[in-house]
Structure 1
Amino acid sequence: MNKLLILLSLLLVQCAFAQDAAIRKTVDTFFEGLHTADTLKMQSVCSDKLVLHTVYEKGGSNVLVAETTEGFYKSIAEIPAGLQIEERLLSFKVTSDGVMANAWTPYEFYINGKLSHSGVNSFSLYNDNGQWKIVYIIDTRKKP
């Protein structure tokens, strides 16, 4: 009985790690697309119902800004060829419930190697018949 319990525990842990890895791969693919201005790659891991928000401080108040997916993808596609952007994830924490997950990723954002801003991304994902899709992104932005 103890061996069966241990085996089941190990299987559950292995499934959780595999699920976390798949979620991580989805977010990594999103950033691969961002860094190369490949909006098709980004869209491949995003829901067609993607929602985007940003929170930042302005004049002592917190501001919440919504961005359309069309505007977001257009801004990525229009990044000039000589401009290098890189979002460095400082850590990666996943919480999930089988069909829904959240990835919490503190980051630093660089433009041509210079720190532009930092903050935290929160990605909400759902499992679309075996493929994780990003449905919601909210981030904070703080100037250095």
Structure 2
Amino acid sequence: MKKILLLIIFCFSTASFAQKAEVENTVKTFFEAFHAKDTLKIKSVCHENLILQSIMEGPKGTKFETEKTSEFYKSIATFPANMTFEEQILSYNIQIDGKMAHAWTPYEFYINGKLSHSGVNAFTFYKENDVWKIIHLIDTRGKK
């Protein structure tokens, strides 16, 4: 009986690990595409009804914005060629319940090698046709 119970626990933990790896890989694909300014690749991991929001903390207070997805894709495609940027993900905290997942990812954002700001991303995913798609992305941005 103990062996069967251990086998069941092992199977569930292996399945959970695999699901978390899929979600983490979706985030990694998003940022690989973001850094490459590849909007088609970004769209491949995002749901068509993606919601993008930001909370920006600055000297004049806090500002909350919702960005149109079309404007987000347009802005990526029009970044200057001589500008480099990198969002370094510091860690992943992933939670999954059925067809929904959430990833909390603290980050630091660099422009031309210099720290611009830092914060946290909160991704929400929906598993559609056995593929995790980003349905909501909200981030905080602040100088620290």
**TM-score past 0.5 threshold:** yes
For the residues of structure 2 that align with 1:58 and 1:113, how far apart are their CA atoms? 22
Q: Residues 23-34 of structure 1: matches in 2 within 5 Å?
A: 23-34=23-34
Preserved CA contact (<8 Å) 2:22 2:132: yes
**Where does residue 94 of structure 2 map in the other structure?**
94
Could you report, residue by residue, the CA deviation over 1:67-96 in whole angstroms, capped at 9, with x for unpaired residues? 000000000010111111100001111011
Structure 1 residue 60: Cα displacement:
4.9
Q: In the aligned structure 1, how far is the partner of 2:58 from the partner of 2:109?
A: 19
- Paired with 1:59 and 1:92, the residues of 2 have a C-alpha distance of 29
Q: What residue number does 2:75 align with?
A: 75
User: Conserved in 1, the CA contact under 8 Å of 2:58 and 2:142?
Assistant: no
Supply the distance in 2 between the matched residues of 1:16 and 1:120 (Cα, whole angstroms).
24
Amino acid at match of 1:126: Y
Q: 1:57 maps to what in 2?
A: 57
* Residue-pair matches, total: 144
3-state SS of paired residue (2:91): coil
Query: Partners of 2:9 and 2:129 in 1: how far apart?
Result: 25
Cα distance in 1, alignment partners of residues 80 and 58 from structure 2: 27
- CA deviation map 1:42-66 (0-9, x unaligned): 0000000000000012455322101
Shift, 1:19, TM fit: 0.0
* 2: CA distance, partners of 1:70 / 1:135: 14
Q: Provide the secondary structure at the position in 2 that maps to 1:32.
A: helix
Q: 2:119 is matched by which residue type in structure 1?
A: G
Report % sequence identity.
51
Misfit runs of 4+, over 2 Å: 57-62
Q: Return the letter of the residue paired with 2:17.
A: F
The aligned residue for residue 117 of structure 2 is: 117
2:35 corresponds to 1:35: yes
Query: Which ranges of structure 1 fall in alignment gaps of 5 or more residues?
Result: none
Which amino acid is 1:8 matched to? Answer: I
Instruction: State the distance in 1 between where 2:61 and 2:83 align.
Output: 31
**Partner letter of residue 97 of structure 2?**
D
The equivalent of 2:12 in structure 1 is 12
Counterpart of 1:90, as a letter, is: L
Q: In structure 2, list runs of 5 or more residues that go unmatched.
A: none
| 1:143 partnered with 2:129 | no
